[in-house]
Structure formats: structure tokens, C-alpha cells
Amino acid sequence: MTAPAGATAAATLSPTPALQVRDLVVRYGSGRKARRTAPAIDGVSFDIAPGETVGLVGESGSGKSTIGKAVLGLQPPTSGTVRVHGQDITRMSLKQRSRQVADLRVVFQDPYSSLNPARTIGQTLVEPLALMGTKGDTAWQKARRGLESVGLPGEAVDRYPSQFSGGQRQRIAIARALVCDPKVVVLDEPVSALDLSTQAQVLNLLADLRDQRGLSFLFIAHDLGVVRFLSQRTVVLYRGQIMETGPVEAVSQAPRHPYTVALTSAAPVPRPAEQAARRAAREALGMGTAGAAAASATGCPFVPRCPLATDVCAEQRPPLRLIDDNLTACHHAERVPAL
């Protein structure tokens, strides 16, 4: 049996991955309509080892959040499996998950809409504990300790979300996710709604908590720079398929897929000369714009935008194959110019 896309030596050494996704397919709709439309997620597989962060990155519409929803049970998969520490949770109802999958929690993107404005912070943090059977003073003590673990005072349990800034609200959301002591956390664009200085603070907090508690993160983002800061490995998605995956430094510094080159060259850097060089490299490659044409039904979905595309790209879906340090789904990966 071959290793799944994104598997690493760390995952291989661990007898049971913290999170295991296999051949995941998600189609929206039902019946004949669903069968006629392209899947939102098309055969995605990856593992996350205990204590590891894997970043899912791609443009809007690439399927990142759909994978997160499928892992969390918010979107039923059409086929494939999701396992947490070896336990198959693919077909579990949300009620079953609330009782049996305490190890899996989520931090959502918007800190303003993810907290109930009518409930105190303490009530918000105590709720998941009550579902797990922890109530009374014990639950409130854990709520206070949870706030202190993210850099907020324990007495903030009596305040309301409106009394906190966006960055503080996201810290509260992190505390809510971690108050039950999970092992796997889905981070769905957790810093994209924050300003740059607050982003850095929250990312540093997440890195510290991961290292202290041995947490595994599925980190969903559209910014390769942010993914590079927090992740050990990254999975690059386009139209529901994995284009490239590997160690985050290798993928960001030496991408072997034209789509990853486009993403990397579009990411802002603080050095104007380097930014100009990246822009020039992208323009020289002749990359098409997003949504320029319909994707190939049988071959690589990136064909309409790819300057290296040939007939074989439109006719045959490229398998993931090892090129240097990266697994790349490209028939012509060896021809991709360096950044």
C-alpha cells in the first residue's frame, strides 16, 4: 500500500495518525444533479501526525473549507473516510460526535460571529464541558484556566463578547476549542479577519499551545506565508484536487507545480525587489486567470490556466509523484521554472 498524499516520516513512525483522511469525495446536491456536476472535493488523502500542523492552501473555491466541514461532520462526504486516532467518524451524527469525538474541535474564521453575543464568555466555555459531563465549579474553574492559557484574565468569564477586541475574541474562540483538551483542532482561516500585528500574536499563541500540549492542527488558509509560519507540511488544492504537497519550506521555496508557482509569486513579501521579481516570474510564465475556462473533466483541472499544458494534460489526470522533496500532480513538473 502506497503512502497517502502528504504522508511524512513522522506520520510513518506514529502507529496511528491523529487525523487520517482517505479518498475523500464531496459532491453538493443530490441525485442526478450531483452526479452531473464536478465534485467539490475529488479524491483527497492526507495524514496528520500527533503534534504536527498540516496547512491546506489554495484560492477561494479550491475546497479547503469543504474539507474542514467534512472532517467536522458539517458536510457529509459522498465517499471516503475520516478517522481520528484510528476511529472512523465519517458517518457519525453530530450527536454521536459530541459524545465520542472530544478529541476534535474547531476555531472558525470570524471572531465576531462565532461567539454568541447574548452569552457571557464563561457560559460559552462551559457549554462544551457540560456536554462532556463536566459541570458546576469544576467546569467554571476549567473555563477560567482556559482563558488564562490564551493570555486573558480568568475573571473575564463574566464579560460579554462585545467587551473584547477582534484579537481577544479569537483568543476566546481558541480557549473554547481547547477547554475540552482535544488532540486535533481544525483552524479555518483563524487569522484572516485580523490585522497584521494581531495575526502575528495569534499565530505565536497557536504555535506555543501546539508545542505545549502536543496538538495536531489542520490549518486552512489562502496565504502561503501564514501557512509557512505555522505548518510543517502543506497541501496545495485546486478545484478539489491536490496539486502539490510536501514539507512547507520545499513547497514554498521550490514549488514543482505551475499552480503552486502562481500562488507563491502572488504572496506578498516585505522586500519590494523580491516582490517585483516574483511578479515578473509569474508574468513570464504566462499563467491564466482564475475562472478563465471550464476545467478538464478527465485530466488536470489546471489545464485552462497552465502555460505548460499539452494534450496529455487534458486527457489524463496526473498522479502525485515525487519530484525532489514534493509530491506533485503534474505531467511536466520537470519543466516548471524556479522562482
DSSP string, 270-318: S-HHHHHHHHHHHHHHTPPPTTSSPPPSSS-TTGGG-TT--HHHHHSPP
The per-residue pLDDT for range 221-245, each reduced to its tens digit, is 988 888 989 999 999 999 999 999 9
Average pLDDT rounded to a whole number, residues 129-154: 93
Structural domain contains residue 152: no
Look at 191-195, 270-274, 312-316, 327-331 and tell me which has the smallest mean pLDDT.
270-274
Instruction: Please give the grid coordinates belonging to residue 1.
Output: 500500500
Instruction: From residue 229, give the alpha-carbon distance in Å to each of 68, 197, 224, 283.
Output: 20, 14, 9, 26
Q: What is the pLDDT of residue 10?
A: 41
Residue 223 main-chain phi, psi, to 5 deg = -105, 115
* DSSP summary character for residue 221: E
Structural domain contains residue 139: no
pLDDT band at 6 (very low <50, low <70, confident <90, very high): very low
Structural domain contains residue 141: no
Q: What is the pLDDT of residue 64?
A: 95
Structural domain contains residue 148: no
Which CATH number characterizes residue 261's domain? 3.40.50.300
pLDDT at 291 over 60: no
Residue 68, CB-side half-sphere exposure with 13 Å CA sphere = 25
Strands 53-57 and 233-238: parallel
Q: What is the pLDDT of residue 286?
A: 63
Structural domain contains residue 115: no
Rg (CA), the chain: 21
The per-residue pLDDT for range 144-157, each reduced to its tens digit, is 999 999 999 999 99
Give me the chain's average pLDDT, please. 87
User: What share of the chain in percent tops pLDDT 70?
Assistant: 86
pLDDT band at 36 (very low <50, low <70, confident <90, very high): confident
Is the separation of the CB atoms in 232 and 3 below 8 Å?
no
Q: Report the SS3 class of residue 47.
A: strand
Nearest CA-CA partner of 68 in 107, 99, 101 = 107
Is the separation of the CB atoms in 66 and 26 below 8 Å?
yes
Write down the pTM of the prediction: 0.88
pLDDT at 115 over 70: yes
Instruction: Please give the grid coordinates belonging to residue 8.
Output: 511524512
Q: What is the pLDDT of residue 261?
A: 87
Structural domain contains residue 281: yes
Nearest CA-CA partner of 317 in 38, 94, 127, 83 = 38
Structural domain contains residue 164: no
As a whole number of angstroms, the longest Cα–Cα distance in the chain is: 67
**Structural domain total, the chain:** 1
Nearest CA-CA partner of 49 in 12, 86, 104 = 12
Strands 233-238 and 241-247: antiparallel
CB atoms within 10 A of CB 333: 20
Angle, helices 136-149/121-131, rounded to nearest 10 degrees: 120
pLDDT band at 101 (very low <50, low <70, confident <90, very high): low
Domain extent at residue 259: 9-103+182-331
Average pLDDT rounded to a whole number, residues 138-145: 96
pLDDT at 93 over 90: no
Average pLDDT rounded to a whole number, residues 106-110: 91
Strands 79-84 and 87-88: antiparallel
Structural domain contains residue 49: yes
Q: Report the SS3 class of residue 142.
A: helix
